[in-house]
Amino acid sequence: MEKKNAPQRNSKRPAASVKGKRSQAKAPGGKPAKGKAPKGGAGKPGAKAVKRASAKAPAGSGRVKDQAKAPGCKLCAVFGRCGGCSLLDMPYRAQLIEKQQLVIDLFAPLANLTALRPILGMDDPFHYRNKVVSPYAPGRKAAAQPRRGKAAARPQARREILTGMYAKGTHQLIPTDTCALENETAKAITLVVRDLMRRWDIAPYDEDTGEGFMRHCVVRVGHSSGEVLVTLVTNDDEFPSSKSFCRELTRRAPAITTVVQNVNTRQTNVILGEKERVLFGPGFILDELCGLSFRISSHSFYQVNVAQTEVLYREAVALADLRGSETVIDAYCGTGTIGLVAARAGAGRVIGVDNVESAIRDAQQNARHNRIDNAEFMALDASAFMAALAVKRAGDEREDGAALADRSNAAPADASATSAGAPADDLVLMMDPPRAGSTERFLDAAVRLAPSRIVYISCNPVSQARDVAYLVERGYRVEVVRPVDMFPHTDHVECICKLVRA
């Protein structure tokens, strides 16, 4: 589910969103899971919120959008101002029904109604984000505090230090001390860093002037391991008193297992820079996902909702129906998480392809770390790789110079020979493209390769439905459509679609 840029084909299908959409039906085949109130929070939404969510409203009325203008809700004082979530004042069951209906509307023209399965929601849809990114910014002028001894010689921070979330679509910082979605340990650590910045007179970064030292604090918490990685993003290589700062940070937040300084001196909205140094601990954490162990550093991609990622991956691998002899192509594989799960779950061989070299290095490291020897990962363009395999399978020697270049660059001899030579019945395609969806070149190659099963995972059901329609028109049949709620209280919905040759 690593999302990268990809060209988007023309589509007549309009954009869809949970916002402003009113469901007229319950999810087919069963009831969505109910959500619990956040631990230590203010409880479930009050009667007023429930009444709003259940009131009749025509489709496209903008009801959710109008609610977002309201000043907060019982679960969050800054709801409607902060850009972190948009559906927090809607009961979780109602959110699931609307997301289910969105998927039904998109896929009903493409699949039998029996293929549309109920959405998989969370039992506890709060504090699920195990990665918290908190920017720091200067606020109002702060009054100078009298100090004694050596501290009196150091210049004092002249402004308040703000941290929280940006208002949607802006760089206006909305200060927050709590969040219903973020991991509570991680959120508390960002506040400890803010308090220590005041004590150490560390100035927050000012985006307008490019001045200030501390830009961001990025905290990652292992879902299973509980290990905590703190990355302090600074505007300068020099970090005075870094040892004493880290000593006090880990004393106040003993859950921390490692601290890394990341240096980013560019005037950009990109959070991380290239240069890093370890200030405390090993510089990485370990966590478990679907029975596999993953090493996570500050630059590593790792799902922010591990609990639902396990639900998503197990469902996708189950739909792949692996029996031990299949070659699985894991297209747009990112750091290889789903490919490694498939390799461990019964695939004969897994070939992962992605055009991000750093992600492929992580995938290869993850395979070695888990002692998986039936999976390999290559830094290649997925569309070019698939086209080269299709050419090799067809034995077509009439390709032009560009195709030959693609073939030589896209598919090393051993990988292409094995996957292209495998019978179609033993070939399974798993694909997880970026939000824009796949390319026509990729889909055309997939049709020519004719894998027996295609398992298509997407964070954007609109582009997914467009691509699925292309495959259906060329001989595939939709067997299963399964939405998964990866990000409760937001408009986003993940969706798995299984296709088989008709």
Look-up of token digits 């308090």: 195
Q: Facing residues of 475 across strands?
A: none
Please answer whether residues 246 and 259 qualify as being in contact, where contact means their C-beta atoms are separated by less than 8 angstroms: yes
Torsion angle, alpha carbons of 438, 439, 440, 441, to 10: -120
* Residues shown for the chain: 502
Catalytic site residue from 73, 76, 333, 459: 459
Q: What is the three-class DSSP state of 358?
A: helix
Pinpoint the alpha helices (H) of 108-253.
184-199, 242-252
Starting at the edge strand found earlier in the chain, the sheet holding 228-234 runs: 173-175, 159-166, 131-141, 214-221, 228-234, 258-263, 275-280
Q: What is the three-class DSSP state of 501?
A: strand
Structure tokens belonging to residue 106 = 């998109």
Question: Can you give 161-197 as a three-state secondary structure string?
Answer: EEEEEEECCCCCEEECCCCCCECHHHHHHHHHHHHHH
End-to-end CA distance of the chain: 27
459 labelled catalytic: yes
Q: Facing residues of 278 across strands?
A: 260
What distances in angstroms separate CA 51 from CA 24, 90, 166, 479, one per listed residue? 16, 9, 29, 37
Residues marked active site are found at 459
